[in-house]
Amino acid sequence: MHRPLLASLVAAALTASGCASPQAATPSAPLAYPPAKTVDVTDNYHGTVVADPYRWLEEYSDETNSWIDQQEALARAYLDAIPQRSAIRSKLEALWNYERFGMPEKAGSRYIYSRNDGLQNQSVVYVTDSLNGEPRVFIDPNTLSKDGTVALGTISVTDDGKYAAYSVAEAGSDWNIIKVRDVATGKDLSDLVEWVKFSGATWSKDGSGFYYSRFDAPADGNKLKAVNEFHKIYWHKLGTPQSQDVLVYDRKDQPRWYLGAGVSDDGRWLIIGIESGDSVNNAMAYRDLSKPEAPLVELFNKFDAKYNFLGNDATTFYVQSDLDAPRGRVWAIDVAKPERANWREVVPQTKDALSSATIVGDRLFCNYLQDAKSVVHIYSLDGKKTSEVPLPGICTATGFAGKRTERETFFATSGYTLPPSVYRYDLASGKAEVFKAPKTPFDGSQYETKQAFATSKDGTKIPMFITHRKGMKLDGNNPTMLYGYGGFNIPLTPAFSPVKCGWLEMGGVWVDANLRGGGEYGEEWHRGGMRLTKQNTFDDCIACGEWLVANKFTTSKRLAVQGGSNGGLLVGAVMTQRPDLWGACLPAVGVLDMLRFQKFTIGWGWVGDYGSSDNPEEFKVLYGFSPYHNVKKGVCYPPTLITTGDHDDRVYPAHSFKFAAAMQAEQAKVAGCTSPILLRVEKRAGHGAGKPTSKRIEEAADMYAFVAKIFGMEAK
């Protein structure tokens, strides 16, 4: 989860600057934190002895659960007492209450798409006989639980549109089960596949069954903590029990590989994608399904670049790759003669990063990032640029999926003040027409987005998107939210959010920082903020914060920093490195113990980006910025609200528990320090995916009521 959650308007109106007083408001007395015992546990990392006094919080014992309950009680008492919270929640709910649509997917002669009426906990999936036809409910995940915590994952439809395989997850967990539903009747078949993680279903051409990836069930039954290793690909024949599924591919010598299966549009090729937890690159293999005894062939096996199969003409594979092209390009590779000398470059590398590419209707849709905003070019399969998809200003475009035989595709656009609209693109005419455009209660015409560049510690220019009300005065007094991620080659691009809109209506400034480690400028930008260079990510964020203060957008007392997951690490690092720069800190579901992250669930999958404490050189870097290990004595840290979910099996919640315990223990010792350190633990919630609307609203209301109180933002 790296998209922000943001609070809303605190009453009918606020002052133009969003506050009644330029001074931050803090409690008159320090909080009494729940006691957290310390234990004498140390680890020796290559000759350096490191204490881990809160190791006991890694276990879900009665003692740990009691401590969590006390933390939640403290947080609830503090947050519920904030006068602005009720108004924030009400306005946030109002801003969220607008109709939203997903992009249609072809299901034989029918279409399937999602819709949310505004406040439904989960979006409902509909099926319709035509785009203008009357839709009928196909899957309503809101009926699967009373509290909306059972969420729908991926949906995959057979070529003839007869069956749909869909996955569901409970309480925010990454564990999924796959079921099969008859599209015409809306009835489920008997098929049930369990222990699926990081995988959907991929149907064979004839619809007789599907491929999927899974882990073994955890041996000790601890499905939220146990390390997940030895991913496997299986074939499930429709109408049979899972016990009869056929193992297609596994690697007993590679416990830390992710394996995924896909089938080419013509049904001939099984494509195996292989990712290693130790590398940011991947490998790829294939099998000729037209030959029953055909072997699995390793096409790329050196982990020397990223490879993404786009489609094929007979034995010619179209592949997107950053091999010797850090911003990406497209190759045509004949697997009958796969030597590098025989590759044909279809789309060369450009000055912009190739974020994604798809083949629909014999056309290549290449989605580029131009200074972190979308530009979409269309090419013929011989590499000739034919046109460009018109986009509405500074925005992010997604979609452009479909099969080779189709003559239409769909895409969506979204921006900071631009609600997500869905378009149908006609390949014959080259025209894009609106399929669904929401009407929101937010008036985006009152706000503007601009791009600015801060200079990082080493001289690198770091872009930021800054959104605020038109005519806002740069008087150094505007409450400002700086959001960042900076990791895993993931770009932070313009996106609409009702909670961002709430912050803007409060008179606040919203800033997205495009930090190194992300994918905004391709692989070089990614590598500039990973492993041994990870500190660059934090330096970039600090530089952006300093730029906002120097250019009179805000002051450090009114500057909040926010991020989730890898962004939670970002917040933890910059607040322990520069506590003087921030007025409030909001680390969510963060990776905060950088020496032990690889020991839980799928943490080993992040070694490629972070490195590992098992490596002496990487240990020194990790130890230098690990938030849990860099909480210092005698420092009054900024007011901080740490958030996590009790079912987070992506970033194990103990990261947040241990960091909160360490922060509270040291903060309580600093004389005169009244800045609160709170831990909010959401029950029946995970890393963020599938979180019901009601929980999102409550979490956002808490997070930004907290900021409103700290910043002294009072309603008139």
The predicted-structure confidence for 419-446, as pLDDT tens digits, reads as follows 999 999 999 999 999 999 999 999 999 9
pLDDT of residue 28: 56
Residue in 236, 468, 526, 687 annotated catalytic: 687
Residue 390's contacts (CB-CB under 8 Å, 6 or more residues apart) are 432
| Other C-beta atoms lying within 10 Å of the C-beta of residue 220 | 7
Environment class of 671 (CB within 10 Å of its CB; exposed 0-12, middle 13-18, buried 19+)? exposed
Catalytic status, residue 86: no
Question: Mind listing the pLDDT tens digit for each residue in 373-384?
Answer: 999 999 999 999
Q: Which residues, given as ranges, of the chain have pLDDT below 50?
A: 1-27, 715-716
Give the pLDDT of residue 4: 31
The answer to whether residue 374 is catalytic is no
How does pLDDT run across 609-633, given as a tens digit for each residue? 999 999 999 999 999 999 999 999 9
Per-residue model confidence (pLDDT) at position 116: 96
Q: Is the dihedral of CA 388, 392, 396, 397 positive or negative?
A: negative
pLDDT score recorded for residue 648 = 87
- The amino acid occupying position 565 is S
Residue 675's pLDDT is: 97
* pLDDT tens per residue across span 535-574: 999 999 999 999 999 999 999 999 999 999 999 999 999 9
pLDDT in tens, 452-466: 999 999 999 999 999
CB hemisphere CA count around 408 (13 angstroms): 15
pLDDT reported for residue 684? 84
How many other C-beta atoms can be found within 10 angstroms of the C-beta atom of residue 81?
10
Q: What is the pLDDT of residue 5?
A: 27
Q: What is the Cα–Cα distance from 479 to 50, expressed in whole angstroms?
A: 39
Structural contact between residues 273 and 242, judged by C-beta atoms closer than 8 angstroms: no
Residue type at position 165? A
Rg (CA), the chain: 25
Please say whether the beta carbons of 189 and 165 come within 8 A. Answer: no
Cα-Cα-Cα-Cα dihedral sign, residues 388, 392, 397, 399: negative
Of 17, 213, 374, 565, catalytic: 565
Q: What is the pLDDT of residue 10?
A: 25
Contact indicator for 10, 704 with CB cutoff of 8 Å:
no
Write down the pTM of the prediction: 0.93
